[in-house]
């Protein structure tokens, strides 16, 4: 990723409150809201070793994905869209993920989903 210094000065640095997952998407939203365009070079190939740090089916990954999906919606949507995003994540997506985990015998992932929702609602500062 190449970003101009002026872009960072105007849009701010990448938000650290995410810790894992969604921080680059949130930053991209802030950059575009600051009036910058985001481009890509389609002839380039990037190889990404997905989930090498946390593991593809880990409770840590599930926890942060759940929490940060909610956090992203909260930070980047307004009004009814914000409410609908949180309601959808808590009422549809997260319960589906937890039920799927339970059906696969992965109670740890179901618990991580519930913990992620709880962590979102108890976060003191969701704006940075």
Distances (CA, A) of 92 to 7, 23, 36, 117, 119: 36, 23, 34, 12, 18
Q: Supply the pLDDT for residue 76.
A: 95
The string of pLDDT tens digits covering residues 80-95 is 999 999 999 999 999 9
Pair 87, 117: CB distance under 8 Å: no
Q: Is 66:76 a contact under the CB 8 Å cutoff?
A: no
The domain limits of the chain are: 5-122
Residue 50 has pLDDT above 70, yes or no: no
* Res 51: pLDDT: 63
């Amino acid at each position: 990723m190449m970003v101009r210094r002026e872009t960072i000065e105007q849009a701010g640095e990448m938000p650290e409150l995410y810790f894992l997952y969604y921080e680059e998407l949130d930053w991209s939203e802030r950059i575009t809201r600051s009036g910058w365009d985001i481009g890509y070079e389609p002839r380039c190939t990037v190889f990404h070793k997905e989930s090498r740090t946390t593991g593809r089916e880990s409770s840590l990954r599930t926890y942060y994905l759940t929490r940060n999906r909610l956090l992203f919606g909260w930070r980047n949507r307004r009004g009814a869209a914000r409410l609908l995003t949180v309601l959808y994540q808590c009422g549809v997506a997260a319960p589906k993920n937890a039920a799927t985990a339970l059906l696969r015998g992965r109670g740890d992932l179901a618990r991580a989903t519930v913990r992620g929702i709880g962590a979102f609602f108890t976060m003191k500062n969701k704006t940075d």
